[in-house]
Homo-oligomer: A and B are copies of this chain.
Amino acid sequence: MLQETLATAPLYIAMRDDDNVAIVANSGGLRPGARFACGLTLVEQIPQGHKVALSDIAAGAPILRYGETIGHAVSAIPKGGWVREALVLMPDAPSLTNLPAARGAQHPLEPLEGFTFEGYRNADGSVGTRNILAISTSVQCVAGTVEYAIRRIRDELLPNYPNVDDVMAITHAYGCGVAINAPGAAVPIRTLQNLAKNPNFGGEVMIVGLGCEKLQPELLLPEGMASAADDSDIIRMQDESLTGFGEIVDSIVAMADKRLRALNLRRRETCPAADLVIGTQCGGSDAFSGVTANPAVGFAADLLVRAGATVMFSEVTEVRDAIHLLTPRAVNQDVADALIREMDWYDRYLQNGEADRSANTTPGNKKGGLSNIVEKAMGSVIKSGTSAISGVLSPGERVREKGLIFAATPASDFICGTLQLASGMNLHVFTTGRGTPYGLAAAPVIKVSTRSDLSARWHDLIDLDAGTIATGKASIEEVGWELFHMILDVASGRKKTWADKWGIHNSLALFNPGPVT
């Protein structure tokens, strides 16, 4: 797969033997006349990550990468020529009818035993990797007040509770001014319900609401908790017993204090790796994403699945063009049908907004060598590894099964992360080619770069360099194992991610497919 040669010599990376294109690996790209070890010579300049034709490609002929047709040649491309975006005609997405039937994993994976991490076990059986108090909010109106209260809680209370990592607000732009009965409303509502149950919050739910909002705060109480009649977990700012801002803030601080006391009693204990719920995502992808970082994540995903853990992959528009590769991996036809159902829902959602899957791929993706969403998707789904797909979640649903799960989400980075948190993610793995400083307050985020250039430049933002795979310094297996061990270390609190060291935390972003009013 990888040409064994010096990193400074012309180097390309082909993914499959029958591919007729490969990507230029060299930093800075290559000039015309550059000659690869196999004898191929460039007929024009090609930037790093961009595709070179390995043979003459006739006009209309398929362009093959990852063994898949990522497009057809708009005009003839000579051997050694640059297969630039303008020469690649994007094919239609695979039809959702007549997809291959479910048959599970072709090579069932061996169980992997003996790996553990130190986590916070919750009453519901889930395990946190952090010990955080989360204050839910039912409507954006209260966000400024809750943030004010959180500043007081941080200053006045947190120093008394050294075993608590942080306090955060689950704030959002939902809750009122929205069509709460529209079909799309189910998504943001269940997302907020399930966010409060994230394992990193230890089951200590409290909700601040206003009173007059459409999303009444009791709707955010987890099932089995206090009934709507019992308001011991809810503060409504409009409650007539609360006089003024001062009393409102005092009541939030007092409710938080009780919960902090409970959280402070928690201690990490040794848990099997099976208790991990890992969300995977890529953002700012480039042509190396599918070559280095995502295959390493895929290898680690297989290790995690073998260890009995839950691994989620997501991002519908980055899966859509690979759906024919995924349905056969479903453990049964119900799971395959659920995959198709989520693709179909999203096709219609985009169509309703007069867009389609091609709206995914950014200027940066293209600059990084990705011609279209088909090529991006082929590189994206590699994060899922090789195991059978055990289950499918609609956006914001809580995960029920172990193993590899497709959690349907938009590819939008923070919407995806928010939905994976709602699904129960206790640690996030994020790969990036162009570079993003992504961070979440609710769960640690391990950032993996696709290129060593980026890791070197962003030495204090990138946690793991998978670019070594492209230069031949490390194998996919080696980086995959390194990531696996890093996951256990970060989950245990033994190692801090760069985002957590700096405290870079992006806001949550709800997916609301319904209209605002």
Contacts and interface: CB of A to CB of B under 8 A. Distances in A.
A432 to B, nearest CB: 9
Interface string A95-137: 0000000000000000000000000000000000000000000
Contacts of A317: 517
Given A182-B355, A437-B142, A349 B515 contact: yes
Nearest to A412: B177
A213 B515 contact: no
A184 B237 CA distance: 35
A316 to B, nearest CB: 9
A243 B244 CA distance: 48
Nearest to A283: B141
A93 interface: no
Contact of A354 (B173, B183, B213): B183
Interface in A491-510: 498-499, 502-507, 509
A515 B359 CA distance: 10
Contact of A457 (B243, B350, B368, B509): B243
Given A145-B437, A182-B353, A415 B212 contact: no
Interface stretch (A47-55, A79-87, A458-466): A458-466
A354 B517 CA distance: 12
Contacts of A145: 437, 504
In terms of DSSP, what is the predominant structure of the interface of chain A? loop
Contact of A516 (B213, B412, B459, B461): B412
Interface residues of A, number: 84
A113 to B, nearest CB: 38
A212 B415 CA distance: 18
B244 A458 contact: yes
A179 B350 CA distance: 8
A484 interface: no
A255 interface: no
A350 B171 CA distance: 25
B412 A144 contact: no
A92 interface: no
Given A354-B183, A410-B517, A457 B363 contact: no
A186 interface: no
Most buried by B among A178, A415, A509, A517: A517
A245 B411 contact: no
Contacts of A415: 173, 177, 516
Contacts of A177: 410-416
B243 A354 contact: no
A213 B509 CA distance: 17
A362 interface: yes
Contacts of A178: 359, 412
Contacts of A511: 516
Interface string A353-370: 111010110111101100
A214 interface: yes
Contacts of A210: 284, 364, 434-436
A148 B515 contact: no
A457 B240 CA distance: 8
Interface in A178-227: 178-184, 210-214, 216
A159 interface: no
A176 to B, nearest CB: 6
A272 interface: no
Contacts of A349: 515
A352 B352 contact: yes
A192 to B, nearest CB: 15
Contact of A141 (B143, B416, B506): B506
A390 interface: no
Nearest to A366: B212
Contact of A504 (B148, B173, B411): B148
19 contacts: A141-B413, A144-B506, A145-B504, A148-B504, A173-B173, A181-B359, A182-B354, A212-B362, A237-B437, A244-B458, A244-B461, A245-B437, A245-B498, A245-B502, A350-B517, A355-B517, A360-B517, A411-B517, A507-B507
Given A212-B365, A212-B436, A353-B515, 11 more contacts: A143-B507, A173-B509, A177-B410, A177-B411, A182-B359, A210-B436, A211-B435, A212-B284, A212-B367, A213-B362, A238-B435
Question: Which 4 pairs between the two chains have the least Cβ-Cβ distance?
Answer: A212-B364, A177-B412, A353-B515, A179-B355
